[in-house]
Amino acid sequence: MANSVRGGGPNAADIGLALYQTLRTNGSSVPAKAAAAIGLTEAEAEAGWRELEELGLIRPGDTGDVVDPVEPDTALIELLARQRASLRRQRDELTSMVTAAESLMERYRPAVMRENAEIEVELVTKDHRRRQFLRDFDATITESASWMHPGPLPSSEVLAGSLTADNALIARGIKVRAIYGQSINSAPRQRKYLSDLTAAGVEVRLAPQVPFDLLMADTHSALVLANPEDPSGPAVVVRGPALVRSYVAMYEDCWLRSVPYTANAANGLDPDNELTEQHRTTMRLLANGLTDERIARKLGVSLRTVSRLVSEIMRYLEAESRFQAGVLAAAHGLI
Tens-place pLDDT, residues 113-147 = 555 556 788 888 887 877 787 778 888 888 999 99
* pLDDT confidence band for 6 (50 / 70 / 90): very low
Cross-strand bridge partners of residue 209 = none
Return the pLDDT at 274. 67
Cβ atoms of 57 and 20 closer than 8 Å: yes
Return the pLDDT at 271. 46
CA distances from 247 to 147, 242, 251, 281 (A): 11, 10, 6, 21
Q: Cα separation of 108 and 100, whole Å?
A: 10
Return the pLDDT at 178. 95
- Which residue did the predictor score with more confidence, 325 or 145? 145
Q: What is the pLDDT of residues 267-320, one digit of tens each?
A: 333 444 567 777 887 888 888 888 888 888 776 667 888 898 898 888 888 888
Cβ atoms of 91 and 204 closer than 8 Å: no
The three-class DSSP label of residue 179 is strand
Topology given in CATH for the domain delimited by 12-70: Arc Repressor Mutant, subunit A (1.10.10)
DSSP result, 23-48: HHHH-SB-HHHHHHHTT--HHHHHHH
Return the pLDDT at 270. 44
* pLDDT confidence band for 5 (50 / 70 / 90): very low
Topology given in CATH for the domain delimited by 119-267: Endonuclease; Chain A (3.30.870)
- Residues whose CB falls within 8 Å of the CB of residue 319, separated by 6 or more in sequence, listed in order: 313, 325, 327, 328
Q: Cα separation of 25 and 268, whole Å?
A: 118
Q: Which of 33, 41, 31 is nearest to 68 (CA)?
A: 31
- Which residue did the predictor score with more confidence, 17 or 270? 17
* pLDDT confidence band for 7 (50 / 70 / 90): very low
- Which residue did the predictor score with more confidence, 303 or 182? 303
Question: Does the pLDDT of residue 251 top 90, yes or no?
Answer: yes
Domain limits, the chain: 12-70, 71-117, 119-267, 270-335
DSSP result, 136-159: HHHHH-SSEEEEEE-S----HHHH
Q: Cα separation of 218 and 170, whole Å?
A: 14
Q: Per mean pLDDT, which of 6-15, 77-86, 261-270 is the most reliable?
A: 77-86
Residue 260 φ/ψ, nearest 5 degrees: -60, 145
Cβ atoms of 237 and 265 closer than 8 Å: no
Q: Cα separation of 310 and 25, whole Å?
A: 105
Cβ atoms of 292 and 236 closer than 8 Å: no
CATH topology match: 12-70 vs 270-335: yes
The three-class DSSP label of residue 227 is coil
Query: In the chain, pLDDT over 90 holds for what percent of residues?
Result: 19
The 10 Å CB-count burial string (b at 16+, else e) for 179-199 is bbbbebbeeeebbebbebbbe
Is residue 173 within a helix (H) or strand (E), and if so which, with residue range? none
- Which residue did the predictor score with more confidence, 162 or 271? 162
User: Mean of the per-residue pLDDT values for the chain?
Assistant: 82
* pLDDT confidence band for 2 (50 / 70 / 90): very low
Topology given in CATH for the domain delimited by 270-335: Arc Repressor Mutant, subunit A (1.10.10)
Name the least confident of 190-194, 222-226, 285-289: 285-289
CB atoms near residue 258 (< 10 Å): 23
Question: Does the pLDDT of residue 202 top 90, yes or no?
Answer: yes
